[in-house]
């Protein structure tokens, strides 16, 4: 009986660990959205347009995650969340676009995976 209890506890441990994962701050998602937006703005002119579009789509995905997170964390309406996140991203993008390619890429490598 004890073996079964231990086996069940071990099998359920990963789910418990995942459930305890802290929420990502909306600013983290918004910073990543700004970083990907900056990346698409400073893309190498020889980059295929499809690649630039993919980077812009990644920015949009992070923006959506930031809006969802902001709405939940600040307990505001969807419109308020969209406006706040859009303003934040617009303010952050120029500074990120001014980074060297290596520094921008290093920053983007730190972006969290977006949970659906």
Mean pLDDT per 10-residue section of the chain, whose length is 116 residues: 45 51 88 94 78 89 96 94 97 94 94 87
In a domain, 36, yes or no: yes
Are the beta carbons of 89 and 33 closer than 8 angstroms?
yes
In a domain, 3, yes or no: no
Question: Which pTM value belongs to this model?
Answer: 0.78
In a domain, 28, yes or no: yes
Q: Catalogue the long-range contacts made by 54-58 (C-beta closer than 8 Å, 24 or more residues apart).
A: none
- Measured distance CA(89)–CA(80) in Å, rounded: 14
Number of H helices, E strands in the chain: 5, 0
- pLDDT, residue 9, reads 46
In a domain, 116, yes or no: no
- pLDDT, residue 15, reads 52
- pLDDT, residue 41, reads 84
- Measured distance CA(114)–CA(7) in Å, rounded: 31
Q: How many domains does the chain have?
A: 1
- pLDDT, residue 95, reads 95
In a domain, 50, yes or no: yes
- Measured distance CA(13)–CA(37) in Å, rounded: 38
């Amino acid at each position: 009986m004890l073996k079964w209890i231990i086996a069940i506890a071990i099998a359920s441990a990963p789910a418990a660990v995942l459930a305890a994962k802290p929420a990502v701050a909306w600013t983290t998602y918004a910073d990543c959205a700004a970083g990907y937006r900056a990346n698409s703005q400073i893309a190498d002119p020889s980059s295929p347009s499809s690649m630039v579009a993919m980077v812009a789509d990644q920015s949009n995905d992070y923006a959506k995650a930031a809006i969802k997170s902001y709405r939940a964390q600040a307990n505001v309406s969807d419109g308020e969340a969209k406006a706040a996140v859009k303003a934040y991203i617009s303010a952050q993008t120029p500074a990120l676009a001014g980074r060297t390619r290596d520094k921008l890429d290093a920053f983007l490598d730190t972006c969290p995976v977006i949970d659906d």
